[in-house]
Structure 1
């Protein structure tokens, strides 16, 4: 992760000539501390010419923030108004503590199912919306605490726990889960189910029973088609806003509410009050589990989006401050009846295209939403629920990465299978178990590579310096009685026996080798378990008149081997600084000459063969 040095581009400002020179405030004073806050630092470096662009971008951004905020709140199983509360507070919180100039935070389609999976089982008994809001707010505060602690501890690397293949599978599973979950709302009915399979069965049964509301289906399906067409043909037009306006107009003109179309209704008037959410002690454990999963996904999303937009704007990624900014945004949302948030690539792209230059864009968006709630809270009373479902479904389609899955199938089947496993984990077990499976698979894949690393025999190739993989150069020459073996991993408890078995196999090849030279440059460590295995291996080889020799062993690893007292069995003279010096020593000892490769002398199995 890059170091923490991002901010607005440096602006030297006017020269200091003629200015009164004042001593800088003492280190640790209030002024110094305030100056380290990203929002304060951005405000002091703000350029006047940015103001019109930020205001216009804020207006444009608001057209997307409002319908998406309401839609993603319903995706999380919460009242639509909480999506607007969340949007307001997270934008303000990130503007103060977030390091990125234009990154936009808010309710997110990838977090919605995770919030619902955490909160809804806890309110299933009474279905109280107020309790659901309190639980979601506490969840947001917990996510904030995790992110802030991770920032202080500089744990941004945790985002790397999810590999790209498993993230592709997880997002594909999430997209399918969202799609199936929103189809009933799109078609005008409800399905009660606890998992994706149950939702699919319920969906088919309801359709077969004639539960589809034609007017609702017409609004929802036309909304999806309109959004996708506008996004493809005229991407600069706010497709979601156009669809929402037309849907409200259709409801008003055709009185669709009387034809079975469910409407959002009147939103509460005014700004959300400061609220400390009250939850039961029995709710804390499930909330912590959900918060950990949400924090991990939010962190990975934030780092990837921050990296992408920082590269385009000439900034550097400040991972730990990004975590702090997202943590503060979640804290602000949680204290004002909001729910967990993350960065949004789509909304950030809209702000960037609209000319955003700073976080003032988000502040303008938050202010406009507040004015809407104060002055025209009834603006969205005729917004049909199928239109919100259309917003969520089109967002879910952007989560899926079918092309990435196809690329994995073509390039590396093992990683494709990992992706499929993550997909099935989300689809069959649920969103929260799915993220746990995705992390576990990523970690296990790393462990698998260390357990069975690539290993090969090396030979001399005419016209090339050094020694090379005999798989790539089947005609590479070898010295009779000598095998050069490379094991591309640190030697530790999990792979020590794999190393031992491969060396034993090489020792039994014909003609029998006298020396097995381990090209040990890739070995960055040898632990105590591996040291014991090496000692037993060397004794067994010596009994067969075969010597284990090491070349290019790193000094720290050599010191560990000496500390393990392995030189009692491995001859200290069998450690060479380079493979060339080991080969030269063997040739002086035996007089061996290079010969063409013998096809019967097989190399150990490599990664692709396993």
Structure 2
């Protein structure tokens, strides 16, 4: 390839990482990517139709959302395996955000969901330019587990009525369960039979036909039963005719009067879509030993969401089940996603007629099965064993999703997590260090009862950054440690290694401690980060010759000097 072409590809790769890979595609990968793409489409078809119902939209929109976004992500994404498409969490967020604003108007509902998806995409792209890829870690693992578990419960409660053949209109866990119990007498037995058959097919397929997608098998079997036995004439609800053909490209309408509400929901939707997608992308990248660029991923997901909005779809994210199918089927490159999109397009063009026989109860069963697999009780239990406060955040998020909606629950959980983070950072652990017989180094005298301190010397460690919100606490705790040493204190040593950052307020706190100890005749010493601190002092014009005697490169050097200048030789202090 000419050097000019290589240079051009390198420039394009900065914005569209997939283009160079597509240009250099190896035909040896074609059979694997083709098989993986068809397998992904087999999962995406029933799941996309089912998830559209969670979002409150027509079944065809689930297929639209699985089409152009795959093409766009193949161009702009950095993961070789991630498959984007409808996701349970994003669908639940759409329904929770749009339903109150639409006020029962179907056309307005579609317009609002398209506008919400487009705004979420714009938020993602803006976040990419601001290099906010670190937001992938903003929703902590307990909050994400709580969110997914809450979505799981919401999906389950929203679909059990479809399995039994009657609607459930109440909201919340207890009201829905009470309404379900009160309507059990209205159960439509043919509908229940179809739903249970679909559930049984999904449970048995992994054991009997492990290479086939359970959702596809269940959908085909239930649709075949409806067509063969004429169950639609006996009251079993079916999807009915779906519009054939590919979606038209048109921008979504944006009701300006709802813009403030949509902006807040779009920000939450963008954060959840990105965080959920990155969990999937990172896990498969680690498994297959390659790296992803989270900032570019933000832009890729944003572009994919805008593509979904332009084709009458709805918000998408990284799809874990379809990505897992891509990996299991041997997909090697992003071309597998292109083949999946092509297979879905063929269904939309030529095979929508068979979809008319798919019973609503079977889609409800697909979603119930998905909700049960989505509920992560094992991780929740592990979090409980590690940290009960974090487990409380997970449970609070889970109940909040079901009771108050996903956006409100996320905002509450993130707010509580930030409060806890500030509390931990504002009051970090601090300790006085001493020597433990038989163990190298210096250790906390609080955690080691047999640790011995050094007469005339305090070694103090503050395990956190020294900033404006904990500077007063640092000053108080350091002076308390000095007071506890008694009148014989001669040296007070700060271990600077755990001080990951020091702002102006923190420097003033250090100066205050230095001043108060100097008045008592105690020498103030900082051990660790000597070169870094001297460079900062010199750069800002604060350097004084006496700083050389206050700053030591390591605790070991400070202890040696203390032993030489203060302690008598017959009572040495250990070097280590």
Question: What TM-score does the superposition give when structure 1 sets the normalisation length?
Answer: 0.85
Measure the CA separation in 2 of the matches of 1:392 and 1:34: 38
Structure-2 change in CA distance of 1:300 and 1:459 (3 Å) = same
- The answer to whether 1:430 aligns with 2:430 is no
- The answer to whether 1:169 aligns with 2:143 is no
Match in the other structure for 1:121: 100
Match in the other structure for 1:603: none
Match in the other structure for 2:53: 74
Match in the other structure for 1:284: 259
- The answer to whether 1:586 aligns with 2:558 is no
Measure the CA separation in 1 of the matches of 2:377 and 2:137: 22
Structure-2 change in CA distance of 1:206 and 1:403 (3 Å) = closer
Measure the CA separation in 2 of the matches of 1:565 and 1:362: 58
* CA deviation vs aligned residue, 1:185-205 (integer Å, no higher than 9, x gap): 232222334x424xx313422
Measure the CA separation in 1 of the matches of 2:467 and 2:207: 53
Which region of structure 1 is more displaced relative to structure 2, 534-543 or 498-507?
534-543
4+ residue stretches of structure 1 with deviation over 6 A? 561-568
Out of 80, 95, 111, which is 1:134 matched to?
111
Q: What is the CA distance between 1:571 and its match in structure 2?
A: 7.9
* CA deviation vs aligned residue, 1:139-198 (integer Å, no higher than 9, x gap): 2222221222222333211111112222222222222222222222232222334x424x
Measure the CA separation in 2 of the matches of 1:493 and 1:247: 64
Measure the CA separation in 2 of the matches of 1:427 and 1:94: 31
- The answer to whether 1:227 aligns with 2:202 is yes
Q: Once superposed, what is the RMSD of the aligned Cα atoms?
A: 3.0
Match in the other structure for 1:205: 179
Match in the other structure for 2:430: 455
- The answer to whether 1:106 aligns with 2:82 is no
- The answer to whether 1:575 aligns with 2:555 is no
Report if the CA contact (8 A) 1:73-1:112 is conserved.
yes
Which region of structure 1 is more displaced relative to structure 2, 317-326 or 509-518?
509-518
Match in the other structure for 2:328: 353
Structure-2 change in CA distance of 1:232 and 1:482 (3 Å) = farther
Which region of structure 1 is more displaced relative to structure 2, 364-373 or 34-43?
34-43
Out of 245, 248, 255, which is 1:273 matched to?
248
Matches for 1:216-365 after TM superposition, within 5 Å: 216-231=191-206, 234-365=209-340
Structure-2 change in CA distance of 1:116 and 1:453 (3 Å) = same
Report if the CA contact (8 A) 1:517-1:549 is conserved.
yes
Question: What TM-score does the superposition give when structure 2 sets the normalisation length?
Answer: 0.90
- The answer to whether 1:520 aligns with 2:506 is no
Structure-2 change in CA distance of 1:591 and 1:98 (3 Å) = closer
Report if the CA contact (8 A) 1:63-1:238 is conserved.
yes
Report if the CA contact (8 A) 2:36-2:336 is conserved.
yes
Measure the CA separation in 1 of the matches of 2:100 and 2:43: 30
SS of equivalent residue, structure 1 residue 460: strand
Report if the CA contact (8 A) 1:184-1:203 is conserved.
no
Q: What is the CA distance between 1:263 and its match in structure 2?
A: 1.5
Match in the other structure for 2:478: 503
Structure-2 change in CA distance of 1:220 and 1:545 (3 Å) = farther
Out of 486, 502, 522, which is 2:461 matched to?
486
- The answer to whether 1:60 aligns with 2:60 is no
Q: What is the CA distance between 1:465 and its match in structure 2?
A: 4.1
Measure the CA separation in 2 of the matches of 1:505 and 1:421: 38
Measure the CA separation in 2 of the matches of 1:364 and 1:54: 7
* CA deviation vs aligned residue, 1:196-225 (integer Å, no higher than 9, x gap): 24xx31342242243433333333244234
Which region of structure 1 is more displaced relative to structure 2, 585-594 or 456-465?
585-594
Match in the other structure for 1:607: none
Which region of structure 1 is more displaced relative to structure 2, 79-88 or 52-61?
52-61
Measure the CA separation in 1 of the matches of 2:22 and 2:566: 76
* CA deviation vs aligned residue, 1:250-285 (integer Å, no higher than 9, x gap): 223343334443221110122111222223111222
Measure the CA separation in 1 of the matches of 2:376 and 2:531: 45
Measure the CA separation in 2 of the matches of 1:510 and 1:534: 19
* CA deviation vs aligned residue, 1:20-51 (integer Å, no higher than 9, x gap): x85625966x9964897444322222222222
Match in the other structure for 2:157: 180
Structure-2 change in CA distance of 1:279 and 1:324 (3 Å) = closer
Measure the CA separation in 2 of the matches of 1:59 and 1:297: 28
* CA deviation vs aligned residue, 1:286-341 (integer Å, no higher than 9, x gap): 22222211211221222222222223334321223322322222122111101111
Q: What is the CA distance between 1:131 and its match in structure 2?
A: 2.2
Report if the CA contact (8 A) 1:187-1:216 is conserved.
yes
